[in-house]
A and B are shown apart, each in its own frame.
Chain A
Amino acid sequence: MSKNLSQRWNHFLERNRKSGGYLLKKIIMRRLYSIARAVLIFGLCFLILQPLFNKISASFMAEKDLYDPTIIVVPRNPTLDNYKIAAYLLKYWKILRNTLFVSLLASVAQVVCCTLVGYGFARFKFPLKKLWFACVILVIVVPPQTIMSSLYLNFRFFDIFGIIKAITGSTINLQNSIIPYILLCMTGMGLKSGLYIFLIRQYFRGVPKELEEAAYVDGCGNFQTFIRIMLPDATPIITSCFLFAFVWQWTDSFYARIFLKSTSLLATELPALPTRLSEYIVSLTGSGKASTAYGMAMISTGMIMTIIPLLIIYVIAQKGFVESLSQTGLKM
């Protein structure tokens, strides 16, 4: 064994000598590079994951652990009380159902609309096409705040060309229902819809035209070709758009605060958690108020409870998120 090793060593030295020291230098450089790369990747991964770990550890700590300077990461009195209190204060299961319902409905509406529009932009020639596509870019670029005040008032006093007012005598208040938001999603104006239209168009442009032409020759109509031929082909990009729409909808508080005031969602309830905790403690003890640290630990717990469904989806559909998007071949 040792003879074999020394033989190989000698052989290596021989080769190195013949190459004029180049071989050894090359190997050392390569090793050094991969070590440096590993350190860098590990460091950045740690940087990303560390807040998550922090929150997880804080969510298991009892209140006195939070103030104990000798406890840094691992709680000494691990407890599930934080989760129980947070679930009670948030009415977790009820608003989880709400959030799931709203996110699913909105993201499905968004993806259906964006796929149709993206396909239309990728595969048909029609007058003013460039103008309309510029409008898509405009939708991506305009901050929602610019139009929000006007949209808000429009849905507060909703009317279609004054018809409803003429019939019933007053406008409809759509502010506290989910209808306006779904309407926005269905017409490609929801949260980041412009981006999805752009991505889907980009994907369809990469699909070979011959596929479609064969279908047309065989007597398939436009819509049938789209459903039967193009849609199955575009599953990767549609899934990843759906996943992004779902996840971003889940955590969005801006649209939710404006359109869905009466529906309590995870994203809108979460920031109120410390106040609720204080009220809860006052109602129990009659006096006092929750300390800041305890309120923050409670927020960490709430965030973990919000993120967990998303993390499960991410772990299952990781490939859908990452790989399919990198296949689209994005170009301006």
Chain B
Amino acid sequence: MAKTKVAKPKHKNLSRKKAIAGYLFISPFIIGFLAFMLKPLCESFMMSLSEVKVIGGKGGFVMNFWGLKNFKQAFLVDAEFTRFLTTELTTMLTHVPATIIISFFMALILNQSFKGRTLARAIFFLPVILSSGVLVGLEYNNSLLSGMEEYIKENTNTSEITATLQSILSTTGLGSKYLETVYNIVNSLYDVVIASGIQIIIFLSGLQTIPKSMFEAATIEGCTAWEGFWKITLPMVSSVILVNVIYTIVDFFMKSNSQVMTKITNTMVLQMDYGFSAAMAWVYFLAVMLIIGIFSLITSRWVYYYE
């Protein structure tokens, strides 16, 4: 009897110690979250509802509450913001599914064994480095080739091979509208492939967790590769698909070259209009949350958890 009385508090003591140790380990994050995330988040919400004035010298800044005026300016007055936002959202609707499908497909191929697989993998992950940060923005602005093309056309009158091909194709009576979509798809393929490096890695990690014995058992039972894909591969990686969908959406919206992001940053840094930029940032944030919510609701309906 006495023994249990001694033992019980000791056990409690241990779990308490563990809890304290756990809090110590995550304490940097807690401090950071409270000081540099929660406080600014609340503050920027306040800013979005008020007029922010920076007082020169040592003063600081003042906020005058003026309700929804900043939001009204964003939606009703400003000519660019709503246009940028809608283009961003519509591009996203096609971009995210395309990225998911292509990266899944690529992961399936890179998971098979063939000669030069290491090299192929290395090249496919190269965009993770090459298309990050400032480099993407420069890539899009780099009109060197188109500029050269115009110059050449002006000076020499020789037409390009691709342009000739395009004109032949569009005059032979094949519906030019369909060709237009084909050109668009081919053009955007580059963007999608460039943006799917991390997703391929995540899918690969998912594919490698599927036990080989499952496929063997299925093959013995007379399952074809096609059926195996739908009945084994897809359900087994469905949880990874959810991770990937969320990652792709976040990654797409955080791209530093997106027009909305650039506008918000410029309003803040160059025009010093903090209230207006905070309002736009909040609208953007809520839109992102909404879309993540919708997509993850759709995806999580058919996620299958093995174990």
- Contact of B289 (CB < 8 Å), options: A34, A135, A141: A141
Among B20, B114, B129, B250, the most chain A Cβ lie within 10 Å of the Cβ of B129
Residues in A with CB closer than 8 Å to B54 are: 153
User: Are B243 and A331 in contact, CB atoms less than 8 angstroms apart?
Assistant: yes
Chain B interface size range: 35 or more
User: Are B114 and A184 in contact, CB atoms less than 8 angstroms apart?
Assistant: no
Bound form: Cα–Cα A150–B268 in Å:
10
Mask: chain B, 224-244; 1 = CB below 8 Å from A; 0 = not: 000000000000000110110
Query: Which of the 9-residue segments B77-85, B118-126, B162-170, B177-185 touches chain A?
Result: B118-126
CB contacts under 8 Å to B, within A52-72, are 52, 54, 58, 66-67, 69
Bound form: Cα–Cα A325–B206 in Å:
11
- Contact of A142 (CB < 8 Å), options: B15, B37, B109, B132: B37
Residues in B with CB closer than 8 Å to A37 are: 109, 112, 114
Residues in A with CB closer than 8 Å to B223 are: none
Residues in B with CB closer than 8 Å to A124 are: 18-19, 21-22, 25
Which residue of chain A has the shortest Cβ distance to B204 in the bound complex? A326
User: Are B147 and A332 in contact, CB atoms less than 8 angstroms apart?
Assistant: no
Mask: chain B, 260-289; 1 = CB below 8 Å from A; 0 = not: 010011001100001001100110110011
CB contacts under 8 Å to B, within A90-141, are 113, 116-117, 119-121, 123-127, 129, 132, 135-136, 138-141
User: Are B29 and A247 in contact, CB atoms less than 8 angstroms apart?
Assistant: no
CB contacts under 8 Å to A, within B46-75, are 47, 52, 54, 58, 60-61
Secondary structure class of chain B's binding surface, majority of residues: helix
- Contact of A132 (CB < 8 Å), options: B30, B142, B144: B30
Among A123, A143, A197, A311, the most chain B Cβ lie within 10 Å of the Cβ of A143
Bound form: Cα–Cα A318–B22 in Å:
34
Mask: chain B, 131-150; 1 = CB below 8 Å from A; 0 = not: 01111011100111101100
- Contact of B253 (CB < 8 Å), options: A116, A143, A184: A143
Q: What's the count of A-B pairs with C-beta under 8 Å?
A: 278
User: Are A140 and B126 in contact, CB atoms less than 8 angstroms apart?
Assistant: no
User: B13 an interface residue at 8 Å Cβ cutoff?
Assistant: no
Which residue of chain A has the shortest Cβ distance to B194 in the bound complex? A48
Residues in A with CB closer than 8 Å to B302 are: none
User: B44 an interface residue at 8 Å Cβ cutoff?
Assistant: yes
Residues in B with CB closer than 8 Å to A58 are: 144
Bound form: Cα–Cα A1–B21 in Å:
75
Bound form: Cα–Cα A321–B99 in Å:
20
User: Are A267 and B134 in contact, CB atoms less than 8 angstroms apart?
Assistant: yes
> Contacts A141-B289, A147-B41, A296-B142 hold; do A135 and B269 have CB atoms under 8 A apart?
no
Instruction: List 7 interface pairs A-B (beta carbons < 8 Å), by A numbering.
Output: A37-B112, A69-B155, A125-B19, A144-B254, A189-B36, A271-B137, A330-B205
A residues adjacent to B (C-beta < 8 A): 34, 37-38, 40-41, 44-45, 47-49, 51-52, 54, 58, 66-67, 69, 113, 116-117, 119-121, 123-127, 129, 132, 135-136, 138-154, 157, 169-171, 183-184, 186-189, 197, 222-223, 226, 244, 247-248, 250-254, 257-258, 267-268, 270-271, 292-293, 296-297, 299-300, 303, 306-307, 310-311, 314, 318, 321-322, 325-332
B residues adjacent to A (C-beta < 8 A): 15, 17-26, 28-33, 35-37, 39-41, 43-44, 47, 52, 54, 58, 60-61, 106, 109, 112, 114, 120-130, 132-135, 137-139, 142-145, 147-148, 151-152, 155-156, 158, 189-190, 193-194, 201-202, 204-206, 208-209, 239-240, 242-243, 250, 253-254, 256, 261, 264-265, 268-269, 274, 277-278, 281-282, 284-285, 288-289, 292, 303
